[in-house]
């Protein structure tokens, strides 16, 4: 591999106009195509085969006109009069009437039914519901109580709701212009004390890229790169390369929306990862290029060597990230698959940019690659002429007490992992949105006025086709199911809200006393399912539980149960890959164990900050269900990045005659500085996304920043060298039979080293002579 990449690097350097033009054509071509056929992004959290969707299929059998709950583009406008006033007050009634008229004129509105002032709707709905229930034999007291539970007007008359579904096939078909028009209409209605907010699936906000978070991350990365290279030009190249990779990745995601559903958070996730790995991968190769310039004044040769050696590490580091992200598709969760593949595509772009565009830029700039110097650095040398830098000092410090260092890391990270035991998971809802969003304000108004359960309804689908007797017997069975549901803990109300024409099926609406993010609601769902077989035997019916709340809970459960399978797949594949790179059993094993420590500590810290509300950074709430599996996938890939970059230099020294202890020191001598710079850049890029208002993006940004800190600075820079010291030569042990069957990949550039030895023996070979001081000056900067 090193030889192939060596040739690629030289070719890109020599024929830089072709490579630069190819990347420009790719950007422009994909950009034009994506602009012309892309569709809006939308969040669809569903998994085929979960119990709630099976119940939804039963609902469609009994009620053929029922649409899929996850496809409904629902809207709920919540209007509120000031304290001490009601919506019946003439002034506010007139304002609401005007708002209703304006809403009716919005694009994509259904022709029927017409929207109605919630006061008028409540009065008419109450009379009709009570009259029908009493005629059916229900006591008036019960009929009135049930009717009040469904009214669009609060008991004090201060808060009302106006609900409808946009006339579209799926949520993805709601045009951004429609959302904007709705928000503008509500803004105009907020006069004279009337409040008007909106939520619902149709109002999903699409996070924007290219804002403050990205700029902050890039700015910090630029500062770190300037410090690392002491050159403005060199510092700019990783930034430019990363932006190209991220740009292509985002355009590819936009293009993919024409063929599949893409979640609204996917571009943010891809941007986070793409910026971080794009800068890091380019940084590693550029740093190696500068080192090679100290050995040859042939810049083309130096680029070839850098891409052949550091580029090989980049390829394998990138492969671990690609494996971790692509493996998300194996767990069989569609929206998670799209997120993982989109992020993996951006990482692939980062690898290709580092291997081809960076050498082309070096060919374009040539001697100006390290221009614009702002500082110069020259490490002192020891008696053997080797650099004596902070990496060497740190490695020797760890080597003095490796047992103490290892114990300290394990105990510290283990303590941070303890809060994982109390981790709560849920999918994002309007009630967990950022406090300053209209979705959250609408949800809070509804919860305060109608009770939190109004936001978390459960729907029982009752199949009475096997119930013997006439329609009256079937109606009695429906009532029996409703009565059973109402007796469950945490149920505020349960009532039959619909029956089909032949009375073979019914829908029972169950309103919890708790909200959608409350553990009590999850327990209620479990209680209903646990008692399902009993009520089916008693009533002779078949019962299923569905609705958005049930669907989201089932998705959360499936995500949690998929974690072990995902870990086995990712860890297993990456373990094999690391054995290929290091030709060792113990090094991949320690790398994996270190990852488990860092990821558990990360999840524990995330629970403390985002679930328990530590430091008051956010309002405490359950973590988003797919956050742990996303973080585990990304962190594993990034953790292996640092393992590859740091330990390959140790192996490179070991296979060329250094002792095990000397190899550890040499690895830190050559890689510690660049790993620290790369980790600092990643932390800044990820942490900057905590500036986003979306709680999911905040939590992922925090978790990834914390994970990189724990893994790079604690595990890779402390635990791994301590373990390498303790293992000694045994760290590189590989059974003979395994050594024979594992293919050999030349990550250390052994073939390149052999070719270089031939060049040195023949002074006539181009590039064999040493560089002059004048030629080396830019590299030493």
pLDDT of 701 higher than 70: yes
- What span, in angstroms and rounded, lies between the C-alpha atoms of 742 and 763? 37
Phi, psi of 528 (to 5 degrees): -60, -40
Residue 268 near residue 692 (C-beta atoms within 8 A): yes
Strand, coil or helix: 469: coil
Residue 131 near residue 123 (C-beta atoms within 8 A): no
Task: List, for residues 101-144, the tens digit of each pLDDT value.
Answer: 999 999 999 888 889 899 998 888 888 888 877 777 778 888 88
pLDDT of 730 higher than 50: yes
Average pLDDT of the chain is 83
- What span, in angstroms and rounded, lies between the C-alpha atoms of 444 and 430? 9
Contacts of 652 (CB under 8 A, 6+ apart): 748, 749
pLDDT of 742 higher than 60: yes
Q: Name which of 49-53, 379-383, 559-563 the model is least confident about.
A: 379-383
Average pLDDT estimate for 518-544 = 91
Average pLDDT estimate for 710-717 = 91
Average pLDDT estimate for 751-766 = 54
- The whole-model pTM stands at 0.75
Tokens describing residue 225: 């790169």
Residue 599 near residue 628 (C-beta atoms within 8 A): no
Put the strands of the sheet holding 542-546 in their side by side order. 491-499, 505-512, 458-463, 542-546
The 10 Å CB-count burial string (b at 16+, else e) for 758-780 is: ebeeeeeeebbeebeeeebebbb
pLDDT of 77 higher than 90: yes
Report the DSSP beta bridge partners of residue 199.
76
- Of 334 and 594, more confident: 594
Task: Look at residue 759 in the predicted model and tell me its pLDDT.
Answer: 54
Task: Look at residue 772 in the predicted model and tell me its pLDDT.
Answer: 36
Phi, psi of 264 (to 5 degrees): -70, -25
- What span, in angstroms and rounded, lies between the C-alpha atoms of 638 and 596? 13
Residue 171 is given by DSSP the state G
Task: Look at residue 767 in the predicted model and tell me its pLDDT.
Answer: 43
β-pair type (425-426, 623-624): parallel
Q: Which of 198, 200, 199, 201 is nearest to 171 (CA)?
A: 201
Measured N-to-C along each axis, helices 750-761 and 299-326 cross at an angle, to the nearest 10 degrees, of 170
- Helix H or strand E encompassing 623: strand 623-624
Q: Name which of 207-216, 434-443, 689-698 the model is least confident about.
A: 207-216
Average pLDDT estimate for 516-522 = 86
Task: Look at residue 773 in the predicted model and tell me its pLDDT.
Answer: 34
Contacts of 127 (CB under 8 A, 6+ apart): none
pLDDT of 11 higher than 50: yes
pLDDT of 771 higher than 70: no
Mean pLDDT comparison of 258-267, 322-331, 724-733, highest-scoring range:
724-733
pLDDT of 601 higher than 70: yes
pLDDT of 778 higher than 60: no
* pLDDT above 90 as % of the chain: 24
Task: List, for residues 641-691, the tens digit of each pLDDT value.
Answer: 778 778 877 887 887 778 888 888 888 887 788 888 888 888 888 888 787
Strand, coil or helix: 641: helix
Measured N-to-C along each axis, helices 266-292 and 232-256 cross at an angle, to the nearest 10 degrees, of 150
Q: Name which of 173-182, 323-332, 353-362, 762-771 the model is least confident about.
A: 762-771
pLDDT of 765 higher than 60: no
- Say how far residue 638 (Cα) sits from the centre of its chain: 14
pLDDT of 757 higher than 60: no
- Of 40 and 298, more confident: 298
Strand, coil or helix: 385: coil
pLDDT of 52 higher than 50: yes
Confidence of residue 776 (pLDDT cuts 50, 70, 90): very low
Tokens describing residue 580: 């290929």
- What span, in angstroms and rounded, lies between the C-alpha atoms of 353 and 238? 10
Task: List, for residues 20-38, the tens digit of each pLDDT value.
Answer: 999 999 889 888 888 877 7
DSSP percent split of the chain into helix, strand, coil, nearest 5: 65, 5, 25
* pLDDT above 70 as % of the chain: 90
- Of 149 and 617, more confident: 149
Q: Name which of 424-428, 650-654, 705-709, 713-717 the model is least confident about.
A: 424-428
* CB atoms inside a 10 Å sphere around CB 127: 11
Task: Look at residue 44 in the predicted model and tell me its pLDDT.
Answer: 60
pLDDT of 226 higher than 90: no
Task: Look at residue 748 in the predicted model and tell me its pLDDT.
Answer: 55
Q: Which domains does the chain have, with CATH numbers?
A: 2-39+207-422+553-773 (no CATH), 49-71+458-546 (3.30.70), 74-203 (no CATH)
Confidence of residue 358 (pLDDT cuts 50, 70, 90): very high
Confidence of residue 209 (pLDDT cuts 50, 70, 90): very low
Confidence of residue 768 (pLDDT cuts 50, 70, 90): very low
Task: Look at residue 554 in the predicted model and tell me its pLDDT.
Answer: 86
């Amino acid at each position: 591999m090193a030889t192939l990449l060596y040739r690629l690097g030289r070719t890109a350097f020599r024929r830089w106009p072709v490579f630069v033009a190819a990347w420009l054509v790719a950007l422009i071509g994909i950009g034009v195509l994506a602009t012309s056929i892309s569709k809006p992004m939308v969040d669809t959290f569903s998994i085929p085969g979960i119990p709630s969707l099976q119940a939804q299929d039963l609902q469609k059998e009994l009620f053929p006109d029922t649409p899929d709950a996850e496809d409904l583009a629902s809207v709920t406008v919540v209007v509120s009069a000031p304290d001490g006033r009601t919506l019946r007050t003439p002034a506010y009634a007139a304002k609401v009437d005007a708002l209703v008229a304006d809403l009716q004129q919005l694009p994509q509105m259904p022709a029927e039914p017409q929207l109605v002032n919630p006061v008028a709707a409540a009065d008419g709905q109450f009379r009709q519901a009570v009259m029908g229930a009493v005629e059916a034999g229900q006591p008036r007291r019960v009929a009135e109580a049930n009717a009040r539970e469904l009214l669009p007007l609060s008991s004090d008359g201060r808060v009302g709701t106006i609900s409808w579904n946009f006339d579209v096939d799926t949520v993805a078909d709601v045009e951004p212009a429609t959302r904007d028009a709705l928000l503008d209409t509500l803004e105009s209605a907020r006069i004279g004390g009337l409040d008007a907010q909106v939520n619902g699936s149709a109002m999903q906000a699409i996070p924007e890229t290219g804002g403050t978070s990205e700029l902050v991350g890039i700015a910090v990365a630029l500062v770190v790169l300037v410090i690392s290279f002491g050159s403005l030009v060199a510092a700019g190249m990783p930034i430019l390369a990363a932006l190209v990779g991220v740009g292509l990745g985002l355009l590819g995601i936009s293009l993919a929306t024409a063929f599949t559903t893409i979640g609204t958070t996917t571009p943010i996730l891809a941007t986070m990862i793409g910026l971080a790995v794009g800068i890091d991968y380019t940084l590693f190769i550029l740093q190696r290029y500068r080192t090679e310039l100290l050995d040859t004044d042939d810049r083309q040769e130096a680029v070839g060597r850098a891409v052949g050696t550091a580029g090989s590490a980049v390829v394998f580091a990138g492969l671990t990230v690609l494996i971790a992200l692509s493996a998300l598709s194996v767990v069989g969760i569609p929206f998670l698959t799209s997120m993982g593949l989109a992020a993996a595509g951006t990482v692939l772009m980062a690898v290709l940019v580092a291997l081809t565009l960076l050498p082309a830029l070096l060919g374009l700039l040539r001697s100006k690659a390290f221009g614009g110097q702002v500082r110069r650095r020259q490490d002192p040398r020891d008696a053997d002429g080797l650099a004596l830098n902070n990496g060497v000092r740190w490695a020797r410090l760890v080597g003095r007490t490796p047992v103490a260092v290892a114990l300290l890391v394990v105990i510290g990270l283990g303590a941070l992992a303890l809060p994982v035991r109390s981790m709560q998971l849920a999918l994002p809802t309007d009630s967990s949105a950022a406090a300053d969003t209209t979705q959250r304000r609408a949800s809070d108004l509804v919860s305060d006025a109608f009770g939190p359960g109004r936001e978390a309804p459960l729907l029982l689908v009752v199949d009475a086709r096997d119930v013997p007797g006439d329609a009256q017997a079937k109606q009695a069975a429906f009532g029996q199911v409703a009565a059973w549901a109402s007796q469950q803990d945490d149920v505020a109300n349960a009532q039959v809200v619909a029956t089909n024409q032949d009375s073979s099926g019914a829908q029972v609406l169950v309103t919890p006393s708790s909200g959608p993010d409350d553990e009590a609601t999850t327990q209620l769902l479990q209680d209903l399912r646990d008692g399902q077989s009993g009520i089916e035997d008693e009533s002779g019916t078949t019962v299923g539980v569905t609705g958005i709340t049930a669907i989201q809970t089932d998705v959360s459960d499936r995500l949690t149960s998929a974690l072990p399978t995902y870990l086995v797949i990712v860890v297993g594949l990456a373990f094999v890959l690391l054995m290929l790179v290091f030709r060792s059993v113990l090094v991949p094993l320690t790398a994996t164990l270190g990852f488990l420590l860092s990821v558990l500590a990360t999840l524990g810290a995330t629970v403390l900050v985002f679930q328990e509300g530590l430091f008051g950074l956010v309002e405490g709430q359950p973590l988003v269900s797919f956050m742990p599996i996303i973080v585990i996938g990304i962190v594993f890939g990034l953790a292996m990045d640092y393992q590859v970059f740091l330990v390959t230099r140790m192996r490179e020294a070991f296979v060329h005659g250094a002792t095990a202890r000397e190899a550890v020191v040499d690895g830190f001598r050559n890689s510690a500085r660049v790993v620290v710079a790369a980790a600092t850049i990643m932390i800044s890029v990820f942490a900057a996304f905590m500036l986003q208002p979306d709680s999911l993006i905040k939590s992922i940004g925090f978790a990834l920043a914390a994970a990189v800190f724990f893994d790079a600075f604690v595990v890779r820079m402390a635990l791994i060298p301590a373990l390498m010291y303790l293992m000694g030569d045994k760290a590189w042990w590989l059974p003979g039979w395994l050594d024979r069957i594992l293919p050999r990949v030349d990550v250390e550039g052994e073939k390149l080293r052999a070719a270089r030895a031939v060049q040195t023996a023949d002074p006539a070979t181009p590039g064999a002579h040493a560089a002059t001081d004048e030629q080396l000056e830019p590299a030493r900067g």
